[in-house]
């Protein structure tokens, strides 16, 4: 087990922001298009956190033009450049999958004071 931990520790990022369920985050992702590289920003609400260590990932959901879009981001992946927290939400659940059925004000999350 220590061999596995030593092997994965070199690929883990040192500086990760404190991201919790219900937070609104802005994820900067490196996109390769042919020979060019650019950074694309995906902003939404964290509805799930899974695993831990090197496999840690977050599911981010946003609604644009009335269509919900969810993306899963592995936090320690090299193509995830930055994760910044825009606002902290106050929720009482570990998974916010119920937001998939709600639209508009019903899908609003209170802000943590």
The pTM of the whole model exceeds 0.85: yes
Confidence bin at 81 (pLDDT 50/70/90): very high
**pLDDT tens profile 9-32:** 899 999 888 999 999 999 999 999
- CA–CA separation, 58 and 46 (whole Å): 7
Q: ∠ CA(75), CA(81), CA(83), 5° rounding?
A: 60
* Coil, strand or helix at 39: strand
Which residues make Cβ contacts (< 8 Å) with residue 46, sequence separation at least 6? 19, 20, 21, 22, 23, 24, 25, 58, 59, 60, 96
Confidence bin at 98 (pLDDT 50/70/90): very high
């Amino acid at each position: 087990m220590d061999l596995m931990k030593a092997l994965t520790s070199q690929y883990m990022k040192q500086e990760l922001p404190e991201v919790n369920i219900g937070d609104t985050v802005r994820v900067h992702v490196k996109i390769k298009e042919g020979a060019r590289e650019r950074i694309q920003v995906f902003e939404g609400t964290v509805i799930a956190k899974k695993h831990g260590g090197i496999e840690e990932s977050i599911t981010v959901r946003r609604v644009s033009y009335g269509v919900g879009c969810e993306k899963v981001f592995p936090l320690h992946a090299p193509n995830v450049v930055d994760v910044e927290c825009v606002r902290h939400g106050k929720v009482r659940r570990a998974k916010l999958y119920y937001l998939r059925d709600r639209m508009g004000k019903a899908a609003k999350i209170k802000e943590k004071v």
